Chain A
Amino acid sequence: MQRSPATAPTIARLIEAFHRLPGIGPKSAQRLAYHVLRAPRAEAEALSEALLEVKDSTRLCGICQNITDADPCAVCLDPQRSDSTICVVEEPLDVAAIERAGVHRGRYHVLHGAISPMDGVGPEDLKVRELLARLGDATVEEVILAMNPNLEGEATAGYLSRVISVMGVRITRIAHGLPVGADVEYADERTLRAAMTHRVEVDAQRGDD
């Protein structure tokens, strides 16, 4: 990023720090830096404390590998949840999304990425070993593979299903098809194929939800 001589070096440093964050372009970085500059000191202190605290007090849960500030995390300790089902996701944000939907009452496992063969990212770079250590003692009956429906997600799901299939655990994959609000006419072949293959019976009494 080009530094203007009219910008004080300390502000330029803050702009550069914001610019390094994902999704923040040079203009947004400038706006954020000047917002912090004009904000009350207490707001700047709260921001810097929050930044340091997130670095100092978070770690990975020893069981599910999600980011937590207490090990084991709240989800792994929750006695109301079923131990028989593990939903495997790529990223911690995926756990948050599934929890918001309230559709899974079992446990989770976060891989921290997906296999990307052409980038040289393999299973040894993910939390696969930790997942396998949780299986095979008959407590876990089903592993739900909730990877993204893209090439990396498919490679990861394909690899995991091959490893887990010999462990006597049921493996399922979340369905993929048309998202809510989409148009059939714009859907690609593979999405339509998946939607047709995994179509469901319409309950005449309730209607289709």
Chain B
Amino acid sequence: MPRIRPIRTEAIVLRQRPLGDADRICVLFSPNRGRIEAVAKGVRKPLSKLSGHVEPLSRGQFGLAHGRSLEVVTDAQTLDSWPALHEDVDRMTEALAMAELVDRSTDFDVASGALYQLLRHSLDELTTSSSPRSVRWWFVLRFLDQQGYRPELDSCVRCRNEVGPEGNGFSAVDGGVVCPTCHGSGVGQRLSSAVFRLLRYMRRSSCESTAQVRVDADASAELERHLRLSLEQALDGRLRSSGFAESLARAETIGRSAASSAAERVQEEQKHAAI
């Protein structure tokens, strides 16, 4: 059997999971090899020289050797550690959603240069953007496009008539905008003119310009719903990381409720002590 030579590749670390007591399996995303699962040996030990270079949401140059069932990371050098994505939990949440999309839609040994550049550019933008969620929206639109699920925004997905900005619907199942007539017959969910305009603007604009657009809470919730349903069609399932985004959005409310319960408890105890 011919000996397979070790390879060197640039890659973004999408995720990790523990293996045994000291190792981790890293899921790498390479522009020319697609999704690679590789064992990083000893990275859970405190003095591991490799551990900081294989952290998820970082980009590096990796040496990979062929192991028995998985590749083995022989060396790694960080190129971008994107500290802001690790230090700011809002940016991290958006970055994880993008990493999960790539993780679930790519295969081993399938070159994905365009998707790699899209992810790299979006993670770069995410570190400095004033609106992390806009970066994700911008990414998702292009991701859907690259996966062959480009949402139709110019003509009705049912009757093919051109659409204006008012009275439309959006059907994730049919893949885009539904004209007022078809929407009136019960097809799709309501698409406000603000979100319709925003979708079209995001499609033709840079990530940076998209982040400058002010989006109110109602439009944001509506856009999230349309994009989530479109992704569920593309991925045939729900994004696991979206659960964390929802928990994070409720965090302050949970904290306030816990604080008021504690205050009631203290009052109750003081009342009993007085009696």
Contacts and interface: CB of A to CB of B under 8 A. Distances in A.
Contacts of B53: 188
A115 B251 CA distance: 13
A118 B15 contact: yes
Interface string A93-137: 000000000000000000000010111101110000000110111
A32 interface: no
A190 interface: yes
Interface in A1-56: 22-23
B262 interface: yes
B252 A190 contact: no
A150 B55 contact: yes
A154 interface: yes
B52 A162 contact: no
Contact of B258 (A23, A167, A181): A167
B240 A136 contact: no
A174 interface: no
Nearest to A131: B258
A163 B244 contact: no
Contact of B92 (A137, A158, A181, A190): A158
Interface stretch (B96-104, B105-113, B129-137): B96-104
A162 B92 contact: no
A159 B258 contact: no
Contacts of A68: none
A89 to B, nearest CB: 16
Contact of B259 (A120, A122, A167): A167
A171 to B, nearest CB: 11
Q: For chain B, which range describes its interface: under 10, 10 to 19, 20 to 34, or 35 or more residues?
A: 35 or more
A209 interface: no
B35 to A, nearest CB: 14
A138 interface: yes
B240 A151 contact: no
Contacts of B118: none
Contact of A119 (B21, B88, B92, B240): B240
B56 A151 contact: yes
B240 A135 contact: no
A4 to B, nearest CB: 20
A151 B241 contact: no
A181 B247 CA distance: 39
B251 A118 contact: no
A148 to B, nearest CB: 9
B4 interface: no
B47 A154 contact: no
A202 interface: no
B213 interface: no
A179 to B, nearest CB: 5
Contact of A163 (B57, B99, B254): B254
Contacts of A181: 47
Interface string B47-68: 1010111011110000000000
A155 B243 CA distance: 13
5 contacts: A115-B247, A151-B92, A159-B244, A167-B258, A191-B52
The 6 closest A-B pairs by CB, nearest first: A188-B52, A158-B89, A136-B262, A117-B244, A132-B258, A166-B255
Interface of A: 22-23, 115, 117-120, 122-124, 132-133, 135-138, 150-151, 154-155, 158-159, 161-168, 179, 181-183, 186-191, 193
Interface of B: 15-17, 20-21, 46-47, 49, 51-53, 55-58, 78, 81, 83, 86-89, 92-93, 96, 99-100, 103, 240-241, 243-245, 247-248, 251-252, 254-256, 258-259, 261-263, 265-266
